[in-house]
Amino acid sequence: MNRLRYPLFAALLGIGVWQIVIWATNAPHFILPSPWRVANTGYEYRSLIAQHALITATEVVVGLLIGAILGAITAVQLAAAPRVANLILPILVFTQAVPVFALAPILTLWFGYGMASKIVMAVLIIYFPVTSSFYDGLTRVTPALLDLAKTMGALDRQVMLRVKIPHALPSLGSGLKLAAVYAPIGAVIGEWVGSSQGLGYLMLLANGRAKIDLMFASLIALAVLTVTLHLLVSALVNRMNRMSHATPSA
């Protein structure tokens, strides 16, 4: 219950500030609807919002899983081959200079207007943070532990599995937490560019029809989805960290 106290307080504080802004600016409801009006609209269109939220959630979860797996595998391969890492890492950093959002129209052209383009978009956003954070963890293991493992006759594969990966799990967890927040961004951007379903599509549809209440309700549903995903990933990361502390170093 104590864990829920602060998030609930933050949510109530945000709603209070929202309402105060409306009172202070006297903004019309078609510009900034009140929390009560948005709540009523959300309840009225709950089935429609849930239907589109399920599509977005599927895109996000699949993209998160694929991006996390690819990022973790890449990090392990780079850590196992330093010379290859010196060649590949600058390329990965350079790819981040290209805004992923700018690739959304190209991905839609290549993969169509269905889920595939949105999943690929989410994977591209997730891949680098996971790879980078996990690679840092794998390459920053205490040298004394590595020397001890070598002294005991451990092979490179055993050092990776028994020493480096367990000690790098907290770093991987940090990357996964970031990925849980970034993944919905990729999916929604893809839905904005071209889609006929999903919360991003519903927000555009509501905006085009001047249903600002519905647009806000969809936005809040997306925020709830993101926070829920972040909490689930955080719980998984905490379990990973406990496993890393319980795993023998060598």
pLDDT in tens, 122-177: 888 888 889 888 888 888 877 766 666 667 766 667 767 777 778 888 888 888 88
The confidence score (pLDDT) of residue 249 equals 44
CATH numeric code, 33-246: 1.10.3720.10
- Whole-model pTM: value is 0.81
Q: With 0-12 CB in 10 A as exposed, 13-18 as middle and 19+ as buried, what is 80?
A: middle
The confidence score (pLDDT) of residue 250 equals 41
What are 152's two structure tokens? Answer: 């005991």
Q: What is the pLDDT of residues 176-194, one digit of tens each?
A: 888 888 888 888 888 888 7
Write down the residue that tokens 């006297």 correspond to: 26
Q: Where are the domains of the chain?
A: 33-246
Low-confidence residues of the chain, pLDDT below 50? 248-250
